[in-house]
A and B are shown apart, each in its own frame.
Chain A
Amino acid sequence: MAEYLILIYSDEKSDSAQSEAEFAEVMAGHNAFAERNGPALRGGNALTSTDAATSIRADGVTDGPFMESKEALGGYYLIEAIDLDAALAVAKQVPFSAGGGLEVRPIRPM
């Protein structure tokens, strides 16, 4: 077994324009995902928007995300899977908004 981190990226501008009903739909999607994939799930969270991000570099602490881009990291799941195909099969069920997407990264075994 191996662990994979599923990173959820989205366009924060369009996310903030979401109606309450749209937001409820996204949450329902995540709940359904968690229910279906309970045994594979090792963790996961939604993040606040990058407005609340603080970055640290060698030259000090700054306001804002580490990397400025249109799509920002908005949440993650940590899953366990036998191989990449199995991990991708789980990841494909993670809801994401239009203009966003997912990145699947293996956790380096220690």
Chain B
Amino acid sequence: MTVPVPGADVVAAVEAAHRGGWALVLAATVRGCGDLDVAQECVQDAYARALSVWGERGVPDNPVAWLITVARHRAIDLHRRADKLPLLVEEIDAPADDSDQPWIPDDRLRLIFVCCHPALSRPAQAALTLRLVCGLTTAEVARAFLVQESTMAARITRAKKKISAARIPYRVPPPEELPTRIDAVLDVVHLLLSTGHTAPAGPTLVRADLLDRALDLARMLRTLLPADPGVAALLALILFTDARKHTRTAPDGRLLLLEEQDRSRWDATALDEAETFTREALRTRPPHRFALLAAIAGVHAQAPTWADTDWAELVALYDLLLRTWPSPVVALNRAVAVGFLRGPEAGLVELEPLTAEPQLASYPYLAASRADFLRRLGRVDEARLAYTEALLLTENQAERDFLTGRLAGSNTRQPP
């Protein structure tokens, strides 16, 4: 049998259906067969079949509906033969006019809440979300977290086993648990955002693929939970990051500081959208920590030039953030803002107590921030020591190159 090579339009249609529809297709198939593994296999099958069938008969009007039908039929077939512990699929019995139900939960939401269940570890939550909700292959998920494929495969398998052995339900949590459970989901998406914003290691500063996934997930959550202020805030934060992603490195991959970036190249549409979501999120009192982070990103976005940055506003926002979310990393960012507001000497004073924080012991930005303030003060020897310390803690090549450059430039006693 010869397999016809699908045309570019068919490949593009399958890719679009994968990117936009995977979660929907998988979630619907899981509901049908009650088994994550079987469903995942059948959905992969359906996408593979789409490549050949759509090539022969054309792309269907509703590609996602076609994929769901094919995957579910295959799942029913397979499941008759399988003898597995079924997933606990909640029966949908809500009538159309059920006033107790503020919205009809989408199957995708059930899938997301299974993946981000607090009974799973955070790395497992993130891996399952990329694998099951975004449809990444295990190899792609392994690359995203810089681990061996076999390690990632074991992590995902163990998580799926726990879902079935501990009976984690395929269900949207009841309203009283919803806020904390949504926060767990948001934390996973935020982890993808921060991993994508500055890759923990490797040659490139930004991992655009992870940023894209974080944005996809946040948009999906926005559709599914349109009234949630945390979702709006996280979407805003991701959009602020996304709008700047092309300006954070020079064409040669060199890291560009915020003060060096070409602000005219920031994506104005994304920034507008981000500001709208930020305003919406800030209306909830007390504001979600992601709303404050988005507001902070917004202050930078609104400044026409680096020199126009409203550092007083930033320090005030960090103060607010520290009150709702006390963390040494927030304190460090606040100290840096203080350094720009009142001068490097004041910044150093703020950084001082943080050197005793165990949580920051291996955090390169503490040493890098100290180095920068010391450099500005012309305290060359101490600056060199701090740059060297930061280099020891940094595995991202673009950041290493930046620090190495600063270290080499610190031989002269003139602050630029």
Q: Is the contact region of chain A dominated by helix, strand, or loop, or is it mixed?
A: mixed
A88 within 8 Å of B (CB atoms): yes
Q: Tell me which of A44-52, A70-78, A79-87 binds B.
A: A79-87
User: Is B169 positioned at the interface, with any CB of A under 8 Å from its CB?
Assistant: yes
Total count of chain A residues near the partner, CB < 8 A:
11
The CB with the most chain B CB atoms within 10 A, among A2, A82, A83, is that of: A83
Q: Does A29 contact B (CB under 8 A)?
A: no
- B258 CB contacts on chain A under 8 angstroms: none
Distance in Å from the Cβ of B89 to the closest Cβ of chain A? 11
| B169 and chain A: residue at smallest CB distance | A83
Interface assignment of B270: CB less than 8 Å from any CB of chain A: no
B168 within 8 Å of A (CB atoms)? yes
The answer for the CA separation of A84 and B113 in the assembled complex, in Å, is 13
A100 on interface, CB distance cutoff 8 Å: no
Query: What residues of chain B lie closer than 8 Å to A88, measured between beta carbons?
Result: 119
Residue A101 at the chain B interface, CB threshold 8 Å: no
139-153 of chain B: CB within 8 A of chain A: none
Q: Considering the complex, which residues of chain B in the window 148-197 have a beta carbon less than 8 Å from any beta carbon of chain A?
A: 165-169, 171, 173, 177
Is A106 an interface position by the 8 A CB rule? yes
> B299: CB under 8 A from chain A?
no
B88 within 8 A of A: yes
Q: When each residue 108-138 of chain B gets 1 if its CB lies under 8 Å from chain A and 0 otherwise, what string results?
A: 0000000001010000000000000000000
A-B contact count (CB 8 A): 28
Candidates B117, B119, B167, B173; contact of A2 at CB < 8 Å: B167
> Which chain A residues lie closer than 8 Å to B88 at the CB level?
82-83
CA distance A106 to B261 in the complex (A): 54
Contact of A83 among B85, B167, B177 (CB under 8 A): B167
Number of B residues whose C-beta is below 8 Å from A? Answer: 12
Residue pair A85, B165 in contact (C-beta under 8 Å):
no
A105 to chain B, nearest CB (A): 8
Residues of B within 8 A of A109 (CB): 85
CB distance from A5 to the nearest CB of B (A): 12
Q: Is the CB of B168 within 8 A of A83?
A: yes
Q: Does A85 lie within 8 Å of B166, measured CB to CB?
A: no
CB–CB B169/A106 < 8 A? no
For the complex formed, measure the closest distance between the CB of A88 and the CB atoms of chain B, giving whole angstroms: 7
A2 proximity list for chain B (CB < 8 A): 167
Which residues of A sit under 8 angstroms from B165, Cβ to Cβ?
Answer: 106, 108
Q: A106: which B residues are within 8 A, CB to CB?
A: 165-167
Q: Is the CB of A84 within 8 A of B166?
A: yes
Q: Which residue of A lies closest to B181 (CB)?
A: A85
CB distance from B31 to the nearest CB of A (A): 16
A83: B residues at CB distance < 8 A: 88, 167-169, 171
Q: Kindly provide the distance from the CB of A110 to the nearest chain B CB, expressed in whole angstroms.
A: 13
| Distance A82 CA – B167 CA, assembled complex (angstroms) | 8
The complex places the Cα of A106 from the Cα of B168 at a distance, in Å, of 11
| Cα–Cα distance between A88 and B167 once the two chains are bound (Å) | 11
Inter-chain contacts of A108 with B (CB < 8 A): 165
Q: How far is the CA of A83 from the CA of B117 in the complex (A)?
A: 13
Residues on A with C-beta less than 8 A from B85 are: 109
- Once the chains are docked, how many angstroms separate the CA of A36 from the CA of B88? 25
Q: Which residue of A lies closest to B85 (CB)?
A: A109
The smallest beta-carbon distance between B401 and chain A, in angstroms, is 46
Q: Hey, which chain B residues are within 8 Å of A85, CB to CB?
A: 168-169, 171, 173, 177
Closest 10 A/B residue pairs (Cβ): A83-B169, A83-B167, A84-B166, A84-B168, A106-B166, A83-B88, A84-B167, A2-B167, A85-B169, A106-B165
Known: A82-B167, A84-B119, A85-B171. 16 other contacts (CB 8 A): A82-B88, A82-B169, A83-B88, A83-B168, A84-B117, A84-B166, A84-B168, A85-B168, A85-B169, A85-B173, A88-B119, A104-B166, A106-B166, A106-B167, A108-B165, A109-B85
Which residues of A are interface residues toward B (Cβ below 8 A)? 2, 82-85, 87-88, 104, 106, 108-109
Q: Can you report 6 residue pairs joining A to B where beta carbons are below 8 Å apart?
A: A83-B168, A83-B169, A83-B171, A84-B119, A106-B167, A109-B85
